[in-house]
Structure 1
């Protein structure tokens, strides 16, 4: 593994064992996370993902566990729900330290977005040390919306869903390219989640979707930042079949990502959520074997 690829993949996964398709209980997912962190897979892994409604039962049990909190509030009563979440984070801090991220799926309407921004900005002091990410879905106006939100609250990051268990959860290559180009060109913190189990992008004929590879997705985003690529060029790298790792770095098509650029990219990229660490690890091993 080149130094560039090592920098790109180090602690890149937030373990989401409670989520489909693994769908483990909190206790089983927590045990699996602890096992991962005591194994060589520690290289890949950063945070343990928990659901916001579980916060009240976690206080005092997760010392020194890097946490990512996922919230999916309803549009009705949004302000109260987010206020409760921040209150519970503040209580958690007393026992366990700051969660590293709070990832909020914003209901798809303008009023909900404004309300969420208002709560988060008002409670920013209680969230010091916790990176907040908004998941805004895949609307036609996503790039403009990201720019507008970032201009309103400069500390906010963004999260994009790259797959799931149904076809509807997968964005098109064009949509993902727009998101990655916007985030990297505007220097916005961002994360990805779901679907990135394989190194290389490929077509899933059964679901009728494009399954994105983590080498394609991360490589395309990192090269967008280092090479000032266009959205179209990012799109093409997401689908690139000519992906290889060598002494100079990770190459996609005609572009090569070196170690310095990989480290720079990771300054804004917070990793991706996955219910499995073994699948990306084994997929990368197979990639190297195939390309040796």
Structure 2
């Protein structure tokens, strides 16, 4: 694969059920099946849905349910024993996502999860999350960070994101990102699909990927901040064997390393937007 194909491999977990898309389950499921057959199907990851919608999911998908690799969002107070029964129902559960930043709760939940079930714990992008991240690492789980939302205040600063990435690197804690990463490069965008809705400067998923690589391979936080803040497409060079930003470059092998061991994926309510943007830039 080329460097950009390596970066994109299974990158986007499809979250069409969630804002700002907020699609019906039937529409989101149909989209996922369509994306699996598309030209860029290699970039498609899991289908995200809430645990309490599993029965509806079975009803909607029927005989096609085996085509869905699931990442299931569960509440902190979920009946984990009941979850274990659901996992044995034949659906392809691949991981859980749980919003929980209290270290004692993270430890308790991690110890109750079914064996071999990978869990992502969502914690705030804030220095106070360090202890929670250490607990996640100690319990063999993974972190989840939220990069945006439907209002400008939901978007973390480049400084805070750079510091969070550095902490994750220091702990060698794999993570996924979610929300506000529909576009390759940092740019001002509408935050919803309402023409009169709010706008904000959204983080770019290529910026985030390369900032993760920069820090993972020994770069400093200030340069990572500059990289996250980069909005100029001309600052990037997409080659078959590497991705380059100004005086930095990462080979396809390094990118594969990052995607396997550190930056594991993105939850996005759109699969088409990031692909179309990459095509418009001439990077795909």
TM range (shorter): 0.7 to 0.9
- Match runs of 1:65-104 below 5 Å: 65-71=68-74, 73=75, 78=76, 81-82=77-78, 84=79, 86-104=80-98
1:134 counterpart (95, 111, 121) = 121
Deviation at 1:222, TM superposition (A): 1.8
SS of equivalent residue, structure 2 residue 93: coil
Deviation at 1:265, TM superposition (A): 0.4
Whole-angstrom CA distance in 2 between matches of 1:143 and 1:92: 33
Q: Is 23-32 or 141-150 further displaced after alignment?
A: 141-150
Whole-angstrom CA distance in 2 between matches of 1:221 and 1:195: 17
Whole-angstrom CA distance in 2 between matches of 1:43 and 1:173: 29
Change over 3 Å in CA distance of 1:117–1:183 after alignment to 2: same
Deviation at 1:13, TM superposition (A): 0.3
Deviation at 1:167, TM superposition (A): 1.4
Deviation at 1:69, TM superposition (A): 0.9
Deviation at 1:63, TM superposition (A): 2.3
Deviation at 1:209, TM superposition (A): 4.1
Query: How many pairs are equivalent?
Result: 270
2:194 matched residue in structure 1: none
- Match runs of 1:3-14 below 5 Å: 3-14=2-13
1:30 matched residue in structure 2: 29
Taking structure 1 as the reference length, the TM-score comes to: 0.84
Whole-angstrom CA distance in 2 between matches of 1:58 and 1:278: 22
SS of equivalent residue, structure 1 residue 39: coil
Check the 8 A contact 2:13/2:265 in 1, yes or no: yes
CA RMSD of aligned residues (A): 2.4
Change over 3 Å in CA distance of 1:210–1:281 after alignment to 2: same
Check the 8 A contact 2:180/2:203 in 1, yes or no: yes
2:267 matched residue in structure 1: 273
Confirm or deny that 1:52 pairs with 2:22.
Answer: no
1:220 matched residue in structure 2: 211
1:246 matched residue in structure 2: 239
Taking structure 2 as the reference length, the TM-score comes to: 0.86
Whole-angstrom CA distance in 2 between matches of 1:119 and 1:273: 22
Deviation at 1:231, TM superposition (A): 1.9
1:160 counterpart (145, 161, 167) = 145
Change over 3 Å in CA distance of 1:90–1:148 after alignment to 2: closer
Check the 8 A contact 1:199/1:287 in 2, yes or no: no
Change over 3 Å in CA distance of 1:56–1:119 after alignment to 2: farther
SS of equivalent residue, structure 1 residue 192: strand
**Alpha-carbon displacement from aligned partner over 1:227-282 (angstroms, at most 9, x marks no partner):** x1122221111112312212441112211110110110011322101111110001
Whole-angstrom CA distance in 2 between matches of 1:175 and 1:49: 26
Confirm or deny that 1:43 pairs with 2:42.
Answer: yes
1:235 counterpart (197, 201, 225) = 225
1:145 matched residue in structure 2: 132
- Structure 2: which 5+ residue stretches go unaligned? 191-196
- Structure 1: which 5+ residue stretches go unaligned? none
Deviation at 1:169, TM superposition (A): 1.6
